[in-house]
Amino acid sequence: MDIAKAIRDLEVQVGRISPVQKFLLGTDGSVTQILESITGKSVVIRTLVQKVIPADRETAETLDIAEGELVNFRIVEIGIEESGEVLIYATSHTPINRLSPAFKDDLMKADIPIGRIISQHHIEARREILSARVGPATDEMGRVFGICRNEPVLSRQYRIIHAEKPLIFIEEQFPYNRFLDTRRVIVRTPSRVHVTLIDMHGGSGRVDGGIGITLDEPGILLEAELSPTLSVNGGDPALRERICSVAQDVLQKLEAGGSVAITVRKSYPSHAGLGSGSQLGLAVARALSELHGRTLPVKELARLVGRGGTSGIGTAAFEYGGFLVDGGHRFGTGGEKTDFRPSGASQGVSPPPVIARHDFPSDWRILLAIPEVPAGASGKIETDIFRAHCPVPIDEVRELCHEVLMRMLPGIASRDLDLFGSSINAVQRLGFKKVELGLQPPQVSDLLDVLRESGAAGAGLSSFGPTVYAVGDTGMTGIEQAARKFMEESGGGTTLITSARNSGAAVRVV
């Protein structure tokens, strides 16, 4: 294998590979000794799994043995002894019949590095690299390395050859954002369902107020590092242009010298009703402020990027996660707001206070269904809708407040799915949510009916749509199938079963 070419190909996929990372991907030496040299600390092996299993077809072909022949299967973590930090996660397959009794004993009884065992037994061997790859971190790898889901993970596969036969087949994995030679900030955001705005009448002297649910998926994952010039990689051209605009604005407001390189690893569509604008802006602001040594409160980040001027749910989801209710803004003469405007047209207005927050039950699931209809309102169109439809009737605001206080919040607090779901259904016909739903194409309301008739405890429109959501228990497959069938027959769409996220954005500086 041409490892130099493989590394060049990796750099096209993931970005610059540091010299240490190149060495780890291409070395023919003992990885444990190399890690001790790199870190200057004692590195140990922790065996997680060790058992004798029959070789499957792929393993048998790699080791040049018969399918079903017994191999020793081992999973180990290679990490720093003092801190417990995992540096490399490795799996290995070793044919039992190719091992001497003494080698087999050492391999199976103790946390000894394979390279050291080979050296102790004076075995002449060489490493034959088979592949060097990059892929997204799974939940398991996220837990192992303490990184975010979908962060890039580098890996290599190789065979240890002895007497011209494969002795061991090994795969080693380590995070792309480890063994770097530059300082980097990684931010992984949630998304959110926006249940409703509470008071778009304003007669009480306050306005807005929001209710929302923080979602674990979809989310935004991005990295940033200092750079002589501003650059954005990943995502589509519109997303890159948007990030450039936000970054330029934030850098100017921070009065930061120099610039940044931003890489988007994962994102989700804008104007779908899931709050990507707030999460993207806050993620960029957090990354840039951390890079320049300033850990700012989330409300200050929101001010930098002009978010939270109407609903505070996006900002609160980024900071806290969970089920959220915000208390809106002072309204009228001398207030923070004097007219009805969406967040995008409310520059300079601070995010509202969070007046209630609860963990969303971990055994409840949320189905997102996004029909192929025009994107939700934004920009001038959204502003015009606020002006045309506000104030909403005070009686509906009062009924909505009663619904939230006496049914929705108790449903969450007592983990009563039916009560919570019926409250979600009820708010669809009240206040500004009724306006948002009334502006949707007919198939959106029909899709909500399908979700409820298929067994959802509750279903609603998120923000201005077009995303609709259904709340239920773990048995959401039938509801998802019904949603897909309906959308296939009415123009298409996508679905995702997700869960709530009871924490805010994850931020790491490496």
Q: According to the model, what pLDDT value does residue 96 have?
A: 92
Q: What is the pLDDT along the chain (510 residues), one digit of tens a residue?
A: 899 999 999 999 999 999 999 999 999 888 888 999 999 999 999 999 999 999 999 999 999 999 999 999 999 999 999 999 999 999 999 999 988 888 777 777 767 777 777 777 777 888 899 999 999 999 999 999 999 999 999 999 999 998 899 999 999 999 999 999 899 999 999 999 999 999 999 999 999 999 999 999 999 999 999 999 999 999 999 999 999 999 999 999 998 878 999 999 999 999 999 999 999 999 999 999 999 999 999 999 999 999 988 999 999 999 999 999 999 999 988 898 989 988 777 878 899 999 999 999 999 999 999 999 987 777 788 899 999 999 999 999 999 999 999 999 999 999 999 999 999 999 999 999 999 999 999 999 999 999 999 999 999 999 999 999 999 998 899 999 999 999 999 999 999 999 999 999 999 999
Instruction: From residue 50, give the alpha-carbon distance in Å to each of 109, 132, 169, 402.
Output: 9, 25, 14, 59
CB-based contacts of 389, cutoff 8 Å, min separation 6: 200, 432, 435
Question: Is 187-508 in the same CATH topology as 3-181?
Answer: no
Contact 78, 43 (CB under 8 A): yes
86-95 vs 329-330, strand pairing mode: unpaired
Given the candidates 1.10.260.40, 3.20.20.240, 3.40.1410.10, 3.50.50.60, the CATH classification of the domain at 3-181 is 3.40.1410.10
User: Rounded to an integer, what distance in angstroms lies between the CA atom of residue 431 and that of residue 295?
Assistant: 38
Task: Report which DSSP code applies to 352.
Answer: P
* Total length of the chain: 510
User: Rounded to an integer, what distance in angstroms lies between the CA atom of residue 510 and that of residue 149?
Assistant: 16
Q: According to the model, what pLDDT value does residue 53 have?
A: 96
From 274, 261, 87, 67, select the one nearest 189 (Cα to Cα).
Answer: 274
Transcribe 156-219 into DSSP letters. Answer: EEEEEEETTEEEEEEEEEEETTSS-SS-EEEEE--EEEEEEEEESS-TTSEEEEEEEEEESSS-
Domain spans of the chain, in order of start? 3-181, 187-508
Residues 350-365 as b/e (b if ≥16 CB within 10 A, e otherwise) read: bbbebebbeebbeebb
Structure tokens at 384: 């015009």
Contact 367, 497 (CB under 8 A): yes
The CATH T-level fold of domain 187-508 is: Ribosomal Protein S5; domain 2 (3.30.230)
Q: Contacts by 453-456 with C-beta closer than 8 Å and gap 24+? A: 453/482, 454/478, 454/479, 454/482, 454/483, 455/479, 456/367, 456/421
Transcribe 114-170 into DSSP letters. Answer: HHHHHHHTT---EEEEEEEEEEEPPHHHHHHHT--TT-EEEEEEEEEEETTEEEEEE
Contact 318, 285 (CB under 8 A): no
Residues 144-161 as b/e (b if ≥16 CB within 10 A, e otherwise) read: bbebbbbbbbbbbbbbbe
Helix (H, G, I), strand (E, B) or coil at 51: strand
Tell me the helices (H) and strands (E) count for the chain, helix number first: 18, 20
Residues 276/281/282/288 CA torsion (nearest 10 deg): 140
Burial-class residue 333 by CB neighbours within 10 Å (0-12, 13-18, 19+): exposed
Task: Give phi and psi for 191, each to the nearest 5.
Answer: -125, -170
